[in-house]
């Protein structure tokens, strides 16, 4: 009887899930279809293109400024992902495993930084970067993106490390391993899905970030993909198809990373909620 009573609720939840999924996927599908449509056919009411063309993608990859921006985004995103992992893992391990004065306050500060929107720290960041002489450089963009995503990465990894039993590390220490060795040989392999999830999160966050890049970057040689996409809105030679193709190129790495590491991402994002 209880199972019969739950069936209408389950059906309603399934319908709601499908509707929400449709709302999320519909704009993405429309962007992709628009990118392979001729410009004259983009505003057509038909959901199917009358003709499939890849001229928009050829035009995108033929633009030198777009390819430079692609290279810059790969450099910054890769550096942010690697630096996030290198810094966040030992920082999270310290907060999870060691007891020292100020530990709780540091944890509070990490959480407090997530309560501030990026626009609230935009002006101080720009002032600091310019005072250091790093304005209009990829180094400045890497540091700001790292500062933006590192606190949440540390807090996420702390939850994952908390879920690893301390007894495993204590047994390794008894067998003669150092604390650092126990972390590398025992804890790090166990939280590998979480590390991959955090690294992917850091890369995607940097890859699509626009506001800080807009404030810090003005030179075409150091622009990233979101800024390059903005330059496609040329009032004298505007093409919706080229803009949509640029959007697909920007979205593709995030989708590809999810497909490659979907098991690790799902495992990493759920393992932190399990204790013991």
201, part of any domain? yes
The two three-digit tokens of residue 172, written as one number: 């390794």
- The dihedral sign for the CA sequence 110, 112, 114, 117: negative
22, part of any domain? no
26, part of any domain? no
Q: Where are the alpha helices (DSSP H) in the chain?
A: 2-35, 55-62, 64-97, 103-113, 122-131, 138-162, 166-174, 179-182, 188-190, 192-207, 211-216, 225-231, 240-260, 262-271
Number of independent structural domains in the chain? 1
16, part of any domain? no
1, part of any domain? no
d(CA 183, CA 172): 9
pTM score? 0.81
7, part of any domain? no
CATH for 118: 1.10.3720.10
Domain that holds residue 257: 55-271
159, part of any domain? yes
Predicted pLDDT of residue 275: 43
Predicted pLDDT of residue 128: 87
Predicted pLDDT of residue 120: 78
48, part of any domain? no
Mean pLDDT in each 10-residue stretch from start to end of the chain (276 residues)? 61 86 85 84 74 86 89 94 94 88 83 76 84 88 89 87 86 84 86 88 90 86 89 74 87 83 62 44
Predicted pLDDT of residue 1: 45
d(CA 189, CA 187): 6
């Amino acid at each position: 009887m209880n199972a019969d009573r739950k069936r209408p609720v389950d059906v309603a939840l399934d319908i709601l899930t499908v509707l929400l999924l449709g709302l999320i996927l519909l704009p993405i599908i429309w962007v992709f279809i628009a990118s392979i449509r001729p410009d004259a056919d983009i505003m057509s009411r038909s959901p199917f293109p009358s003709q499939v063309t890849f001229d928009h993608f050829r035009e995108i990859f033929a633009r030198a400024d777009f390819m430079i921006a692609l290279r810059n985004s790969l450099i910054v995103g890769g550096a942010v992902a690697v630096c996030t992992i290198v810094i966040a893992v030992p920082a999270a391990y310290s907060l999870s495993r060691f007891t020292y004065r100020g530990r709780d306050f540091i944890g509070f500060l990490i959480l407090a930084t997530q309560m501030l929107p990026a626009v609230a720290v935009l002006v101080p960041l720009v002032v600091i970067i310019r005072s250091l002489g790093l304005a209009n450089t990829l180094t400045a963009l890497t540091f700001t993106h790292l500062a933006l995503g590192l606190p949440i990465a540390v807090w996420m990894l702390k939850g994952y490390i908390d879920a690893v039993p301390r007894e495993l590390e204590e047994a390794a220490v008894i067998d003669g391993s150092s604390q650092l060795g126990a972390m590398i040989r025992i804890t790090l392999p166990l939280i590998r899905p979480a590390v991959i999830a955090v690294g992917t999160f850091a890369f995607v966050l940097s890859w699509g970030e626009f506001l800080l890049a807009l404030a810090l970057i003005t030179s075409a040689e150091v622009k990233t993909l979101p800024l390059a996409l903005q330059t496609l809105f040329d009032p004298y030679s505007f093409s919706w198809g080229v803009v949509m193709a640029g959007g697909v190129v920007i979205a593709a790495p995030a989708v590809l990373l999810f497909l490659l590491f979907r098991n690790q991402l799902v495992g990493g994002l759920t393992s932190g909620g399990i204790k013991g």
